[in-house]
Amino acid sequence: MSIYEGGCHCGNIQVWFKTELSPGHLKPRSCQCSFCRKHSTRALSDGNGQINLAIKSNALLNRYTFGIKSAEFLICKRCGVYVSAYMPDGDKAYANVMANTLRNHDAFPAGSPINYEIEDEQGKRERRRRTWSPATLTFDD
């Protein structure tokens, strides 16, 4: 199992992405919604992996939502970096991580454009349960 570490620029949001897949087998996704295009996303996840997110200061975390509000887009209020999309799901949670926030971001290939506009909320949640990584979100404060 490999662990890829990273986070936002100032260190308030830290992330550990655990996967058995090599960078070349992860296939980053570049969502084509207006939010993701503005952030030049390369989203990574592995349904058999794990994403752990640790927040130093909750006051500096923006849990941005838009559209059908089925996921929280975790953005640092201090440095402005978008690190992860996070979906609470009952007593579980799922997330992806932006490849550009990982220390070894150059090891991952370019993102493949993908469009999710036709999905309704149920479709989005089902896809995320299948393809996003099980996740934890913890706070130091």
pTM: 0.95
Taking only the tens place, the pLDDT of each residue in 80-119 is 999 999 999 999 999 999 999 999 999 999 999 999 989 9
Taking only the tens place, the pLDDT of each residue in 17-76 is 999 999 999 999 999 999 999 999 999 999 999 999 999 999 999 999 999 999 999 999
What residues pair up with 127 in beta bridges, in sequence order?
Answer: none
Cβ pair 86, 138 in contact under 8 A? no
- What 70-77 contacts at long range (C-beta under 8 Å, 24+ apart), as own/partner pairs, is 70/121, 70/124, 70/125, 70/128, 71/124, 71/128, 73/35, 74/13, 76/8, 76/9, 76/10, 76/12, 76/13, 77/12
The token pair that represents 78 in the structure block: 């201090």
Give the domain ranges of the chain: 2-139
Q: Give the CATH fold of the 2-139 domain.
A: 2.170.150
